[in-house]
Amino acid sequence: MIKLRLKRFGKKQEASFRLVAMEASARREGSPIEVLGFYNPRNKETRLDTEAIRRRLDQGAQPTETVTHLLQRGGLLPKPKNPNKKTQVAKA
């Protein structure tokens, strides 16, 4: 199965991540099938190849939880309705 996940690179204490498509059983630092974007958590910079990501998602690739949040922020996936938000019940 193909997974969309983050691959770490950069210096110590200054990590940046590449968004890659990889085989699910491959290790984090293994060779990716395709590089789909970039994420820098220090300044929240995100660059996504939207066409390639949509193509991979249509092929059945599964994003990890962190990648799902990045794709939602980028507008590629719909944001879920908040199921944990409690509705207030009027007391009689």
Distance CA 88, CA 52 (A): 43
Domain tally, the chain: 1
| Res. 92: pLDDT tops 60 | no
Residue 32 DSSP code: -
CATH code, 25: 3.30.1320.10
Is residue 15 included in any domain, yes or no? Answer: yes
Q: What is the pLDDT of residues 32-88, one digit of tens each?
A: 899 999 999 999 899 999 999 999 999 999 999 999 999 998 888 888 777 666 656
Show the domain range for 6. Answer: 2-74
For 91, the token pair is 């007391």
Tokens of 34: 């395709």
- Rounded to two decimals, the pTM is 0.77
